[in-house]
Structure 1
Amino acid sequence: MFLWILSVICNTVQEKELMEKGKNVFYQEVTENDELASVSIYVITRNASVRVSMTHTKVRGKSNNFKKEGNLENKESSTSEGEKAVKNSTKIEESSFSELDEDFDDIGELVHNEWRKKLTKKGMYCIQVHNPSKKSVEYSISAYSIKKTNEETKAFDNFKNTLQTLASLLDKVKAENYYFNVQQNKNIKEARNIRRLVNFLILFPILTVVIGWVKHAIARHMVKPSKKKFANVF
């Protein structure tokens, strides 16, 4: 029995707004089932920029993908609000991500348009977005991943049945194609034989006439008397 493995494409997009000197922190987990994962940030506000830092750890917490420290629905956050959010986090999140917070790069990479990173290692990634300017900045953050799953759903069963039907139809077409190729080769051989026969029938009268003319010429030459031999007689 074959093991059917499906690849599910997951894409999460969020739009955020950072006020002056604001900061957002997101978590993205890469598991063994993730074949390909990446995170991208796009700055929506024109002539604006943000600073992005990302760290990786093998420790996994209970937070969901892209769970902000504090309230996810709150689009305005400052440095003090971020610190309060860390304090209000659960003990599991504090113990899981304390190492990340200590090793974080506060400066980060300056991003004017788009920032994209592939998540090649398994574990938890922590992404920090900081607004260094004195005006609010809108940006979007998205996560893209391809996950493996071996769950056979009804749609997949229908798809598998369709593939099996197509395979049987292809076998049938292949057999019919082979039969037609054999029949075509036979027809070609018969056509060549008929062409040879027709050519022979066309040449046969000509050969008959030529042979008759040759026999007539030989017989005439043998019967005709020589002029020198009978010159004195006549």
Structure 2
Amino acid sequence: MRVRVATTALGITAALLAVPACSTGTTGPKHQPSSRTGKPTDAAQEPAAFSSAALESRLLDPRDLGSGYLAKPERRAQQDDVTVIGCPALSELGGDAATGGTLAFPHKAKADFTYRGSSSEISEELYSDSAKKLSDGIARVFDAMTDCSAYQVVAGGTPVDVASQKLPAPHDLGDEQWSQLLTFSASGQSTVVKQTAIRDGNLLVIVSGSPALVDRHLDKALAKATAAS
């Protein structure tokens, strides 16, 4: 069950991120911003967004991660309904999005890895759009996900208890940063997932998975994603 919980955890997180960046016009609770610096303004001139193909080439691969890491095959998006119980902020985001989704930005790439001989996993997602759209979109989601310290997600009929905790973000990386710790519990087993997002200009890097692996490879992921072509 532990492996399934780990997969479900990352999938549900991605699903909740798969919402439009625009306002829903609801009158729900206002959220304090997550850890953010360098909030972008509307720039007259901004570099063009990277294509999805260009983002693919900037993802980490097993050679970057080192010995013992194996790439996971791309997982088909599941179509299970997702219901959020006990967290109105998340419900407003559209908790019925399909699991395994991705952020609603036009240019994206993703890679998943496991660490050989263990249940540890790490996932990297890259997105490109205008700095303002990236900033507003990811901040809205992180603020909602940390608004409630405990709630339940029901995915495809399976209840998963979730505890969320906002973490200090690494302020020395990129232009804006967000970080959180999610604990997913189901059938007596728990999985802890750390998720850190870094916006650097018109690139958004999200690294999720086992906390130790996220801490170990975050700098490397950002460096490769933002390296000059």
The structure with the largest helix share of the pair is 1
TM-score band (shorter)? under 0.3
Larger-Rg structure:
1
If the length of structure 2 is used for normalisation, what is the TM-score? Answer: 0.22
Structure with larger RCO (C-alpha < 8 A, sep 6+): 1
